[in-house]
Amino acid sequence: MQVPAFFEYQRATSVAHVVTLLERFGPEARIVAGGHSLIPMMKLRLAQPELLVDVNDLHELAGITVEDGVLRIGALTRHAELLASPLAGEHFPILHDAERVIADPVVRNRGTIGGSVCQADPSEDLSGVFTALRAVAVVRGVDGDRTVPMREFFHGPYETAVRPAEILVELRVPLQPGAGSAYVKVDRRVGDWAVAAAGAVVSLGPGGVVEQVGIGLTAVGDADFTAVEAEDLLRGRVADEYTFAAAGEAAATHCRPVADQRGPVDYKRHLAGELTVRALRDATARAHRGGSTE
């Protein structure tokens, strides 16, 4: 039976308490929320933290609201809550597209949004979603809050801008009225990590010209989960199949997938292009309908 190594455990009573504990124990302390990545790693002894700081009582970290033109998603919000949130779905259908294909209901009931992005797994769905959305992370430490754009949040596999004595408290997504968004993923089986996935957020101007676009790519080796070249190519051009194909090609060319049992490099590169096209197609169709899924 898999059992973790010895560790201490504290149930945090406030965010300030979390920061104090992290400060005191240093980098060998870990925050546990849903625990769906950390606990398996501990059981396999790939992770051996000395202290677990349980944040599950910190209800102030949970919840989805819209304030001042910003969709705010608390770090402790469960996947299931995001999937069930009409507010999130109304503004950004991409969030529901992605949540529908993340793991399974049991995991979604427990796993958190903050935990997912802080784990920074190279195949994490939400990483590509929030970079496509140009979300901003709010991180709290002893010196108070600071913000980090999601496009600067990821520092490599399993590494983020969050420092050892800091905690992610919130993700902020600026509302983009009229924008359409979508997420598409290929996996080997429901609940599996993505072989590749793409998210797109498209704002159209007069004549169907792309005013702003965000493209997030997952599992194809982009450290920042973003297809910048494809975005650059799209801005100012008419959103049609021809442009999508060119954007797909740019995404495929510039991604850096590695071969593993989910697929060889050429296939993943192909998928980066194909899924970019499909995400753009769906997001644009939604933009034409004013952003909604209907």
Residues near other proteins (CB under 8 A): 1-6, 43-45, 104, 186-193, 195, 259-264, 266-267, 270-271, 274-275, 278
Q: Tell me how far, at minimum, the Cβ of 75 lies from other proteins, in Å.
A: 24
Closest to other proteins by CB, 87 vs 245, is 245
Question: Whole-number minimum distance, CB 151 to other proteins, in Å?
Answer: 27
Around Cβ 87, how many Cβ atoms within 10 Å? 15
Rg (C-alpha) for the chain, rounded Å, is 19
Q: With contact defined as beta carbons under 8 Å apart, do 55 and 18 qualify?
A: yes
Question: Could you give the CA distance from residue 45 to residue 5 in angstroms, rounded to a whole number?
Answer: 7
Contact 244, 280 (CB under 8 A): yes
Closer of 278 and 286 to other proteins (Cβ)? 278
Minimum distance from CB of 120 to other proteins (Å)? 17
**Least distance CB 274 / other proteins (angstroms):** 5
Smaller CB separation from other proteins, 145 or 266: 266
Q: How far apart are CA 210 and CA 204, in angstroms?
A: 5
In the block, tokens 């606990």 appear at 39
- Minimum CB distance to other proteins smaller for 1 or for 177: 1
- Using the minimum distance from each CB to other proteins, give the nearer residue, 151 or 269: 269
What DSSP letter does each residue of 266-283 carry, written as one string?
HHHHHHHHHHHHHHHHHH
In whole angstroms, the minimum distance from the beta carbon of 191 to other proteins comes to 7
CA distance 117 to 161: 11
Contacts of 83 (CB under 8 A, 6+ apart): 95, 96, 99, 100, 108
Q: What is the nearest approach in angstroms of other proteins to the Cβ of residue 87?
A: 27
Closer by beta carbon to other proteins, 45 or else 146? 45
